Amino acid sequence: MSTILHESPNKSRQPRLSKPSIHLDTALYGILLLRVSLGLLFLAHGLLKIFTFTLPGTAQFFESVGLPGFLAAPVALAEIIGGVLLIAGIYTRWLALGFFPILLVATFKVHGGNGWLFTNEGGGWEFPAFFAIACVVQFLLGDGALALSSVLSSRTKRQS
């Protein structure tokens, strides 16, 4: 396994905390797991809004927490389409960044008053907060392994 390891200036065997060790052979697969997990979560949440809660029910819920009800359909569609694109590895960085404000609203406006634990009535804020941070991490890391964007970009480069 390829590893980047930086030793401290005193030649000790302990790695310096400021320079982390990264396993280059597996890092892309870790990023892939994050991307697919986020995609599945968004896809599931979008489908729940349509098939379990229904769009009218989701709109009513949005209104009950002070959000415009007309946002139910666009948010559900964004979660479904964005989730599929994340799973496929297309526009990964921009989708993750685009979902971040939605998750901030879910964290502070929807779940913030319910306490920390998601098992609390109405769901707590720890899950959407972690979900938001995971989106920022995905934005910073990019596509990872097995992303269709790399296939599409290499095809475009060959055609030009």
Q: Report pLDDT digits (tens) over 51-96.
A: 999 999 999 999 999 999 999 999 999 999 999 999 999 999 999 9
Write out the two tokens for 83.
């989730």
Higher pLDDT, 30 or 20: 30
- Please check whether residue 119 lies inside any domain of the structure: yes
Beta bridge partners of 7: 15
Residue 87 is predicted with a pLDDT of 98
- Range name among 135-139, 146-150, 152-156 with the lowest pLDDT average: 152-156
Residue 15's SS3 state is strand
Question: Is residue 142's pLDDT more than 60?
Answer: yes
- Kindly report the pTM of this predicted structure: 0.83
Distance in angstroms (rounded) separating the CA atoms of residues 5 and 2 = 10
- Please check whether residue 59 lies inside any domain of the structure: yes
- Please check whether residue 9 lies inside any domain of the structure: no
- Please check whether residue 7 lies inside any domain of the structure: no
- Please check whether residue 33 lies inside any domain of the structure: yes
Q: Which of 10-14, 15-19, 22-26, 74-78 has the highest mean pLDDT?
A: 74-78
Residue 17 is predicted with a pLDDT of 64
Quick check: 79 and 85 in contact, CB under 8 A?
no
Return the H-helix or E-strand segment holding 4: strand 3-4
- Please check whether residue 158 lies inside any domain of the structure: no
> For the chain, what's the residue count?
160
CA torsion 50-54-56-61 (nearest 10°) is -90
Domain boundaries, position 58:
27-143
Residue 107 is predicted with a pLDDT of 95
Higher pLDDT, 99 or 3: 99
For the chain, what is the domain count? Answer: 1
Quick check: 90 and 149 in contact, CB under 8 A?
yes
- Please check whether residue 88 lies inside any domain of the structure: yes
CA torsion 59-65-68-73 (nearest 10°) is -30
- Please check whether residue 94 lies inside any domain of the structure: yes
